[in-house]
Chains A and B, each alone.
Chain A
Amino acid sequence: MSPETDVSRRSFLRGAVGAAGGVAAVAAALSPLKDLDTSQLSVEQFLQKHYKEMSKEDMDKVLERIARQVEERHHVRPEVRDIKPMDGVEFAYALNLGKCIGCRKCVHACVAENNQSRSPEIQYIRVLEMPKGSIDVEKGNHHYDRPEVPDKDHFYMPIQCHQCADAPCVSVCPVEATWTEPDGITVVDYDWCIGCRYCEAACPYWARRFNFSEPEIPDKDINPNMAYLSNRPRHKGVMEKCTFCLHRTREGKMPACLEVCPVGARHFGNLADSKSEVAQILQKKRVFVLKEELKTLPRFYYFFDEDYYDEEEQPR
């Protein structure tokens, strides 16, 4: 116990100057907050439940809020749905490395379909230009820029989220903002994610993307056909990734990347149906997965069949 000292008016005023200065300094330090966009900080959103705990009424209110916010921001009235998985469906994707020419149309079709940020740029699919003789992704070149593709001495391997059956990103998320749905798709609840980026550290395929700042999407490029778990516009501070276009595929459609592929390298469908494209490819072609030793059990299979021909050996 220290002796109580007298507090004279002079010393009190001096102390007050110090305290006032301190308060002013703290207030000024916090002054950047005046530019804060509070649209994502409402009480409603603070109290919003986890996707798995929301009732239909809760979800309808949330979908309405999302549609309203998209309309306010982008002047486009979207249709935002919560699409549930189809029964008896397990998705799989097969990609023919013998056919891929590395044109990157899938990359940009995906960006257009999924309302990804154009600045800073987010692209779920990354095409690697691989040297022949290796499937070591360390050897892939992400930044190839040739006047024409394919280059004869390389093959092309697009990488996107493999929707792993035993996904490392799912097991590490501290708040279960990401999980595997019954149809195999690994989804992210953008309103639950706290942005710790542990899943991004855990993914062996570099499939996950983080919004380091508020995404910028030109209004004319907004795709109004949205779903809660896939392509509704995200906000800064949350993770996102390829969802096999679940807003399309859960209604029976093909994903956007497949529909633009000019060489038909991509194949998609229901693995549970033995007559489907992918099921037959898995039976008939020699498929493999990347980083199989990590036992992530991806749903994305690669295979090679007849290769791009060499013009000198077989002139037209």
Chain B
Amino acid sequence: MDESQKMRSRFNKGAGGLICGPVFLVLALWFAFGPNLLSLPKNPIVEIDKARISTAARRKILSDPPVMFINATDKNCMDCHQIMFKPDVPKTTGFLQHKEIKLSHAINTNCYDCHDKEDRNSLVKRNGQKLSFDDVVQLCRQCHGSIYDAWTYGGHGRTNGYWDADKGPQHKLKCTECHNPHSPRTPAMDPIQPLPGPNTLRMGKQDPEGHTEHDPIEDPLRKAMLRDQHQKAAHRSGMKKEEHR
């Protein structure tokens, strides 16, 4: 037999096993007892306060008959306003009660634009017709007709409960359940703190400013908007300086 055949036959006599065996045993020990190099990068669980995802309306409103909690008791409007506080020209600031009210509703500068002078349990329309607090929507409708139309078909506002009225109750939120009737822009349009952003698997560090502009050619719209932003920012900081004086 020549050299290579001799080698082959020697290996056929099991010499290969003598080398492979120990190598495999070392490998087995490594797998069984070696270091655990596994990476399971799971993010810590973030608790979200259930109150922040509540489906309740933003404002709790008065219904008919209106009841307010004043001086540690539940009172009906006429309990106080029967005998007092019926000025011909109502003041809109410096209240002893209802201190939280700040009247800032565009051209409405007089409480009696919406509240009935004689019967404070009622609201009143421009034509003198009295409305219960449950029908507050009809009051707002007088000036905000197009928003009322959209609200009717569902394009404005929110409807909680059932989309299918045959299956369950629908709670279409009334105007005052989002908008404060005395200063309507709040709280519906108030800025709020956003809930936490995403923290997905292996996300890495992300830029909260999110700069992703890569275009070598400048976009004229972006340029104009950035210029306006800078002007507004300068204006804002200029205004703030004045307030401090």
A-side residues, CB < 8 A to B, are: 5, 8, 10-22, 24-25, 27-29, 31, 86, 101-105, 107-109, 111-112, 118-123, 126, 129, 131-133, 138-150, 152-153, 212-213, 216, 218, 249, 251-254, 258-264, 266-270, 275-278, 280-281, 284-285, 305, 308-309, 312, 316
Contact = CB atoms under 8 A, between A and B. Distances in A.
A145 B14 CA distance: 68
A5 B15 CA distance: 14
A126 to B, nearest CB: 7
B143 interface: no
B171 to A, nearest CB: 10
Contacts of B186: 316
B194 interface: yes
A260 B9 contact: no
Interface of B: 9, 12-25, 27-32, 40-46, 48, 50, 52-55, 58, 104, 150, 153-164, 166-168, 173, 178, 183, 185-186, 188-189, 191-201, 206-210, 212, 221-222, 225, 229, 232, 235-236, 239
B45 A107 contact: no
Contacts of A251: 167-168
Contacts, number: 243
Given A216-B42, A276-B163, A142 B206 contact: yes
Nearest to B42: A119
A146 B191 CA distance: 11
Contacts of A28: 27-32
A281 B236 CA distance: 37
Nearest to A102: B194
A252 B14 contact: no
Contacts of A112: 48, 50, 53
Contact of A10 (B13, B210, B222): B13
Nearest to B212: A139
Given A144-B208, A267-B155, A121 B199 contact: yes
B203 to A, nearest CB: 8
Given A13-B14, A105-B52, A150-B191, A142 B197 contact: yes
A212 B201 contact: yes
